[in-house]
A and B are shown apart, each in its own frame.
Chain A
């Protein structure tokens, strides 16, 4: 007849707990990896997902710079040949 020894039983229970903990961690890690892989695949293949990081809808910086520079462009002057009709004065 088999007899239960309390020490051996406790060791088996602790071992079972340990295995369960490892199994949970492994399942969690597999879940995260599966989710990440799924997201990557979705980004690459599903039309609704952006493949690049979203950027604000604005003109490119280079274009904005050129427009600003042009805003301070010079006008066209020539030597005066007729009597002046207007005056520029301090404002």
Chain B
């Protein structure tokens, strides 16, 4: 999944099982593998397709979260990402003097219909489930732990028992239950013909979102909840802290000038009351 996986609290056998779990999910859901189910499904866009039970479950979850975030976190941004040049694993992406492709509109999650295992989506619709798949795999891996510990993939964590966690821009918090995740533009960014792009696409425009935040950290009952909340708050822009507060979700926002903004829920739970 193009990120470092850290596991604490697992023996050798459990660690191997977790590594296998990530490898299995990668095989099904990678947008960059020609033999993945996701690639097959995207190639069949426009025709009804029968997907595997695991795929149907993940897509159903992605669509439900798209609905819950008012479409901010949309699984149909794959085409827009590919047009901007995000066509292979991030580790091998690099900068390119050639310009990105023409703008590709986002079809929108409402255009995807899933009835049981039968999927129908419009022609040229490209799904990208990576965000939800990665954090869902973290949750599934954490469920394999026998005792206290945590699983982290690229900094998105699920805990079993309290774990103190370092935060972007300094500071720390104890995650007592659930997960914590950070979304932002400081890592997955690349250049095409001198223009910088990042992976957080605004579904309304099909372009990388212009957000006042560099990074947003959110807490969730699961790692998926934290990850989706962090991304939605990033995409909500100035309204990000309020968007999370209206849902009672703690959020911590790092601005490009180093300012840290905490919403009311974060300040109430984590005890961080002053801006750094």
Contacts and interface: CB of A to CB of B under 8 A. Distances in A.
B173 A68 contact: no
A49 B188 CA distance: 59
Interface string A73-91: 1111111111111111111
Contact of B266 (A77, A89, A90): A77
A76 B178 contact: yes
A72 interface: yes
Main secondary structure of the interface of B (DSSP, over half): mixed
A12 B167 CA distance: 103
B156 A84 contact: no
Given A71-B225, A72-B247, A88-B156, A77 B184 contact: no
B238 interface: no
B220 A72 contact: yes
B189 to A, nearest CB: 10
A77 B219 contact: yes
B226 A75 contact: yes
Contacts, number: 154
Nearest to B270: A77
Contacts of B167: 88
Interface residues of B, number: 65
Contact of B155 (A69, A78, A88): A88
27 contacts: A68-B67, A71-B64, A71-B65, A72-B220, A74-B225, A74-B247, A77-B180, A78-B269, A78-B270, A80-B174, A81-B174, A85-B150, A85-B165, A86-B6, A86-B150, A86-B157, A86-B166, A87-B152, A87-B155, A87-B166, A88-B165, A89-B187, A90-B214, A91-B3, A91-B154, A91-B181, A91-B188
Interface of B: 3, 6, 8, 61, 64-65, 67-69, 134, 150, 152-157, 162-168, 171-188, 214-215, 217, 219-222, 224-229, 247-250, 265-266, 269-272
